[in-house]
Amino acid sequence: MRRLLFLLPLLLVAVLAVWIGWLLLSGRDPQALPSALIDKPLPPFTLAALPGRSDGVASTDFGGKPMLLNVFASWCVPCLAEHPVITKLGKEDGISVLAINYKDKPADALAWLKRNGDPYVRIGADADGRAAIDLGVYGVPETFVIDTAGRIRYRHPGPLTPDIVDREIRPLLAELAK
C-alpha cells in the first residue's frame, strides 16, 4: 500500500503528459480566443460600399436565413489562403457570405477581388476598423456564422480550412437552416 503511494507522483506526471500531448496534437490553436458575443445579436453597424459598387453592408442585412460574415483585407496573407474555401462556400454551397473589408485601401481591395474572385454577396468598407472592434475582431481573417434572427452563433478567428468548414460550419449552418 505504501509502495503504491510512492508511485503517485509518477502517475500524476503521466496523466499530465497525456493531457499536454492531447492538447498539442489536437491541432487546436492555443491563441484563438472565444468570442464574447456568442448568442448575442450583431452589434449595429452600417458600412459604405467600396468605390464603384452600390452594396455596402449593415447589421440589418442579416437574418431570414443563416449567413456568414467574413472579415478580410487585401494586405492579409491568411485571407488569401482561405479565399478558395470562402469561394467554395459562396459559389458551390450557395451560402450568402457578407464581408467586412477591414482597414484596407479601397483601390487595393478592388484589385484584390478582381484578381482572386469575389464570392461575397455584399461588402462594406470598415476603414477605421471600428465596426470590427464592436464585433470583437482581434485579427483578420475572422468568420462569423449569423443565424436567422441575426444573432452571432459562431466565430472562427484565423483562416478557414476545409476541415473546419466540414467539422463546424456546415453542420451549424444545416442546423440553423431548419
Partner 1 sequence: MRLRPILAGLFLALALAAPAHAIEPQEQLADPALEHRARELGQELRCLVCQNQSIDDSNADLARDLRTIVRERLTAGDSDDQVLEFVTARYGDYVLLRPPFRTGTLILWFGPVVVLVAAIIALMLRRRRRALAEPAPLSPEESRRLARLLDEEKAP
Footprint of partner 1 on this chain (CB under 8 A)?
31, 33-37, 43, 103, 128-130, 133-136, 138-139
Question: What's the min distance (Å) between Cβ of 138 and partner 1?
Answer: 4
- Closer to partner 1 by Cβ: residue 96 or 153: 153
- Closer to partner 1 by Cβ: residue 38 or 172: 38
Question: What's the min distance (Å) between Cβ of 136 and partner 1?
Answer: 4
Measured CA to CA, the distance from residue 125 to residue 104 in angstroms comes to 8
Question: What's the min distance (Å) between Cβ of 36 and partner 1?
Answer: 4
Closest residue by Cα to residue 102 from 60, 61, 81, 133:
133
Measured CA to CA, the distance from residue 48 to residue 51 in angstroms comes to 9
Question: For residue 66, what is its C-alpha cell?
Answer: 443563416
Measured CA to CA, the distance from residue 147 to residue 20 in angstroms comes to 35
- Closer to partner 1 by Cβ: residue 37 or 49: 37
